[in-house]
């Protein structure tokens, strides 16, 4: 074997192989992590946690689906941020300044995205506390209507005139729910 071919094989066994291993591991971690989250949320959605009327089961499924989506997106973001940092490290980038810059950028984004964080946190607590769900008749802010979609950041309500309202969860300070009894 020629010296050039041997050098190419040695190079191929180094950084490219390690990058390929990082990418394959990330893809597998995302796949199996997503399946685990999906199975856990399906089990949670079908578990009989609270005895009561049938609409509670439908609401429980909706909450499990929303929480599962958030967990899957968070897992995906974490996996690919770590994989990107590892690949950059394989190519010899100094990650210290990058991590320091990310910290400063994180603080700036955190200050700028306070309403987004407030909306998401309000959405999480709204889901956990089961304040309202899809199909509930609610009185929220100045709007009376039926909840069509519940998300972590936004809730959509259709009023009696047919208008679809998008309400940020962080702005909802009080809710009247005519569909929940006692």
Q: Which residue has the higher pLDDT, 146 or 113?
A: 146
Average pLDDT of the segment spanning 13-18:
83
Q: Which residue has the higher pLDDT, 136 or 182?
A: 136
CB 178 within 8 A of CB 137: yes
The pLDDT assigned to 11 comes to: 73
Highest mean pLDDT of the ranges 77-86, 115-124, 128-137, 170-179: 77-86
The pLDDT assigned to 49 comes to: 59
CB 169 within 8 A of CB 122: yes
The pLDDT assigned to 50 comes to: 56
Domain with CATH 2.30.30.60 in the chain: 113-182
> How confident is the model over 146-157, as pLDDT tens digits?
999 888 889 999
How many of the other CB atoms lie within 10 Å of CB of 41?
20
Q: Is the dihedral of CA 27, 29, 33, 36 positive or negative?
A: positive
Within 13 A of 130's CA, how many CA atoms are on the CB side?
A: 14
Kindly report the pTM of this predicted structure.
Answer: 0.60
> How confident is the model over 35-85, as pLDDT tens digits?
999 998 888 777 765 555 555 666 677 777 778 888 898 899 999 999 999
Query: According to CATH, what is the number of the domain 113-182?
Result: 2.30.30.60
Per the prediction, the chain carries an average pLDDT of 84
Q: How is residue 91 annotated by DSSP? A: T
Domain with CATH 1.10.287 in the chain: 1-95
Query: According to CATH, what is the number of the domain 1-95?
Result: 1.10.287
Distance from C-alpha of 177 to C-alpha of 131, rounded to nearest angstrom: 8
């Amino acid at each position: 074997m020629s010296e050039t071919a041997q050098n190419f094989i040695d190079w191929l066994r180094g950084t490219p192989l390690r990058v390929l291993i990082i990418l394959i591991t990330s893809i597998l971690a995302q796949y199996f992590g997503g399946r685990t989250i999906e199975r856990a949320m399906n089990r949670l959605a079908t578990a009989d946690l609270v005895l009561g009327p049938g609409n509670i089961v439908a609401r429980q499924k909706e909450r499990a689906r929303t929480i599962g989506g958030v967990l899957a997106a968070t897992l995906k973001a974490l996996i690919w941020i770590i994989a990107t940092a590892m690949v950059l490290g394989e190519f010899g980038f100094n990650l210290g300044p990058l991590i320091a810059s990310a910290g400063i950028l994180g603080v700036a984004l955190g200050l700028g995205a306070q309403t987004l964080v407030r909306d998401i946190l309000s959405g999480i607590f709204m889901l956990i506390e089961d304040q309202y769900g899809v199909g509930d008749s609610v009185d929220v802010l100045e709007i009376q209507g039926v909840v069509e979609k519940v998300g972590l950041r936004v809730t959509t309500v259709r009023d009696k005139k047919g208008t679809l309202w998008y309400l940020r969860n962080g702005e909802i300070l009080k809710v009247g729910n005519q569909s929940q009894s006692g």
